[in-house]
Amino acid sequence: MHNRPPDYSPIEEYGIVGNLETCALVAPNGSVDWFPFPHLESPSIFASILDTDLGGRFRIGPENSFETDRQYIDETNVLETTFHTTDGTATVTDFMPPAGQVSHPKKVLYRKVECTAGAVELGVELDPQFDYGRAKTRIESLEEGVLVDGNEERTLLESPIPLAIEDGRITGELSLESGDTEWFLLRCTGAEHASTDPDAALDKTIEYWSDWAHNCHPANGCVFAGPWHDQVVRSQLVLKLLTHAETGAIAAAPTTSLPEEIGGVRNWDYRFNWLRDAGFTVQALMNLGTADEANAYFDWFMDLCRADEPAAIQPLYGLHGEANLEERELDHFEGYRGSHPVRIGNGAAEQRQHDIYGELLLAVDEIRQHGRDLTDTEWTRIRGIVDYVREIWDQPDAGIWEVRGEDQHFVYSKVLCWVALDRGIAIATDGDHDAPIEAWQEVHKRIKDDVLENGFDDDIGAFVQAYGTDALDATGLLLPIVGFLPFDDERIQGTITAVQNRLAEDEVFVQRYDGEDGLPGDEGAFVLCSCWLVDALALSGRVAAARSRFEALLEYLNPLGLVAEEIDTETGAHLGNFPQAFSHIGIVNSALYLGYVLGHKTPGPVPMGIRLGEPVESDTTNQQS
């Protein structure tokens, strides 16, 4: 039905649905352009987001001119795409039943098509390209639709209309009048002939998400009360979509190789879990009231720490705990808008990143603050980590940003080693756990003295990215939040000012750093770092400035409330993998800190940055939402 493949949709125009095992990205023209199966880190069935010609897609939408409205059904991950044509209006509703939660097959992508006004003509195109377009496919017409076999995986499109097969593409035309409804069911391996009632599946899926989502009334003292409350709920729903139902691991993003610079080489596979996300993730989940998810995630990463040698702990793992994440390139794909290479796997799994130990201890401390007692086995593993940090803290590493140049003495890595000892000492003391407290305290002091001597530049008046450089890094904004120095320390305030002067743009955005990282090209502003500046300002007593930046940042989220890793500061276009878990975690935690300083108390313990960072008191008169 297409003479040529369509152009690439902007990253920020996509919506996402999923079943807690995998996700699909849906473009505003009704095309499913990304769908790995059976799991998020599996090879794709559709990947036209990475190659419009070779990647494959499943589109239901008008062939002629149209306008599109998109929304999620309230507090769910059920996506509605409404097409307005000159002759009528139709809505495509996309969803997948969540694994283990709904008694309908989870391996089915449901697409409901309903004409709500006039009459509409919609085209249907199915082009499965299994294994990132590398598998040979066999197509067979069946009475109920079309079966496509791609060696290890297969799909059966259950269709209400006849489908034609031509040049490996499956097409059809759907005519609807007002009141007409039809269903297309893409049944994937294991669910080709499973019994299901699509209307009941939709009702149950809506019910599950509505019951699960954070559903307080903002006027009743919710810490997230404010104009951002609905966005916080959407961020929570995104984080749940990226959580694997079986293991509790949370993916950094559902996509691979969406570029940080259009046409550039900064294209990475983010369908894995980074342990560095642990502390801030647990804080977000706990304060959202999703303790089950926080505990499942905690159990998952604690299980990964059971190695006798903490040096074996990797910066990232597969969502089933896979350690081998060999990085490879898909040379046959052109990449999103020509951004090559397209990568699967991630070589950062083999790096040395010393910050991960402090982030793990922050997560342990956070979940402990929420009332969870540590088992003897868990403490043994935690003690092993802290002891290991005593040995390696003074060695260089690749840092939190996983630079691909030489290892350096990154300030943030040193500070997080200090955090590992700091939280280890506190946990051992409070819980009366066996530990070499005096030895830990001695190294704890040595690290702090070392960072203050070598990591702070008197001429700049700020903490720098690494020893011996004058580059700045947005991670300097986190030093008071993790308790290294109080917010009113002049060195912290100097760092905040320096970040604003050198890394911030347009009173909204913040770059990660301004130093070299061993890679060519540029990147956009980091959404997470922009949130960190909001946090630092709010907890420094500058609440009005923090709120202004936060509200301005939220304007750049797409109409569905989704955001990528980065934003182009000139165009507002989203860059990098999408949607990005850490960006949404940053939004949740910024709303948490703003809510707290505006007087909305949490139902649980005081948030990390308040508890550890000794924030500056501020007059929040007239700041209430």
Say which CATH number the domain at 111 has.
Answer: 2.70.98.50
> What distance in Å separates the CA atoms of residue 535 and residue 543, rounded to the nearest whole number?
9
Mean pLDDT of all residues in 374-398: 96
The per-residue pLDDT for 309 is: 83
* DSSP type of residue 381: H
To the nearest 10°, report the CA torsion of 178, 183, 184, 189: 170
Residue 70 belongs to a domain: yes
Tell me, yes or no, whether 202 and 218 share the same domain: no
Tell me, yes or no, whether 560 and 578 share the same domain: yes
Cis amide prior to 162 (ω within 30 degrees): no
Tell me, yes or no, whether 201 and 73 share the same domain: yes
With cut-offs at 50, 70 and 90, classify the pLDDT of residue 8.
very high
| Closest to 219 (Cα-Cα) out of 229, 232, 233, 210 | 229
Lowest-pLDDT range of 313-322, 403-412, 536-545, 565-574: 403-412
Last residue of a domain, one of 162, 185, 211: 211
Q: What is the mean pLDDT of the chain?
A: 94
* Number of domains comprising the chain: 2
Residue 618 belongs to a domain: no
> What distance in Å separates the CA atoms of residue 408 and residue 210, rounded to the nearest whole number?
47
> What distance in Å separates the CA atoms of residue 505 and residue 525, rounded to the nearest whole number?
9
Length of the chain in terms of residues written: 625
Residue pLDDT, tens place only, 451-504: 999 999 999 999 999 999 999 999 999 999 999 999 999 999 999 999 999 999
Residue 619 belongs to a domain: no
Q: Do 256 and 344 meet the contact criterion of CB atoms below 8 Å apart?
A: yes
Tell me, yes or no, whether 559 and 580 share the same domain: yes
Residue 548 belongs to a domain: yes
Tell me, yes or no, whether 391 and 536 share the same domain: yes
Long-range pairs for 431-440 at CB < 8 Å and ≥24 separation?
Answer: 431/368, 431/373, 431/374, 431/379, 433/374, 433/379, 433/383, 434/379, 434/383, 435/383, 435/386, 436/387, 439/390, 440/386, 440/390
> What distance in Å separates the CA atoms of residue 479 and residue 609, rounded to the nearest whole number?
10
Q: Partners of 92 in the beta sheet?
A: 81, 113
The per-residue pLDDT for 308 is: 65
Give 211: exposed, middle or buried? Use CB within 10 Å, 0-12, 13-18, 19+. Answer: exposed
Give 210: exposed, middle or buried? Use CB within 10 Å, 0-12, 13-18, 19+. Answer: middle
Residue 177's domain comprises 11-211
The most confident of 143-152, 487-496, 520-529, by mean pLDDT: 487-496
Flag whether pLDDT at 379 surpasses 90. yes
Flag whether pLDDT at 306 surpasses 80. no
Flag whether pLDDT at 620 surpasses 70. no
Inter-axis angle of helices 278-287 and 291-304, nearest 10: 160
Last residue of a domain, one of 159, 191, 211: 211
> What distance in Å separates the CA atoms of residue 25 and residue 12, rounded to the nearest whole number?
11
Tell me, yes or no, whether 482 and 402 share the same domain: yes
Give 215: exposed, middle or buried? Use CB within 10 Å, 0-12, 13-18, 19+. Answer: exposed
Q: Do 122 and 225 meet the contact criterion of CB atoms below 8 Å apart?
A: no
Tell me, yes or no, whether 142 and 237 share the same domain: no
Beta strands in 128-254 (DSSP E): 138-142, 145-150, 153-158, 164-166, 169-177, 181-188
Tell me, yes or no, whether 378 and 458 share the same domain: yes
Beta strands in 97-244 (DSSP E): 108-127, 138-142, 145-150, 153-158, 164-166, 169-177, 181-188
Tell me, yes or no, whether 200 and 273 share the same domain: no
Last residue of a domain, one of 185, 211, 237: 211
Tell me, yes or no, whether 174 and 285 share the same domain: no
Tell me, yes or no, whether 466 and 524 share the same domain: yes
Q: Name the pTM for this structure.
A: 0.96
Q: Which of the pair, 622 or 439, is modelled with greater confidence? A: 439
Provide the CATH number for the domain around residue 498: 1.50.10.10
Residue 116 belongs to a domain: yes
Flag whether pLDDT at 568 surpasses 80. yes
Residue pLDDT, tens place only, 60-112: 999 899 999 999 999 999 999 999 999 999 999 999 999 999 899 999 999 99
Residue 5 belongs to a domain: no
Tell me, yes or no, whether 136 and 115 share the same domain: yes
Residue 623 belongs to a domain: no
Q: Partners of 35 in the beta sheet?
A: 46
**Which residues, including other chains, have CB under 8 Å from residue 255's CB and lie 6 or more apart?**
25, 34, 49, 270, 271, 577, 578
What percent of the chain is predicted at pLDDT more than 90? 90
Residue 201 belongs to a domain: yes
The per-residue pLDDT for 601 is: 86
Flag whether pLDDT at 619 surpasses 70. no
Lowest-pLDDT range of 298-312, 586-600, 608-622: 608-622
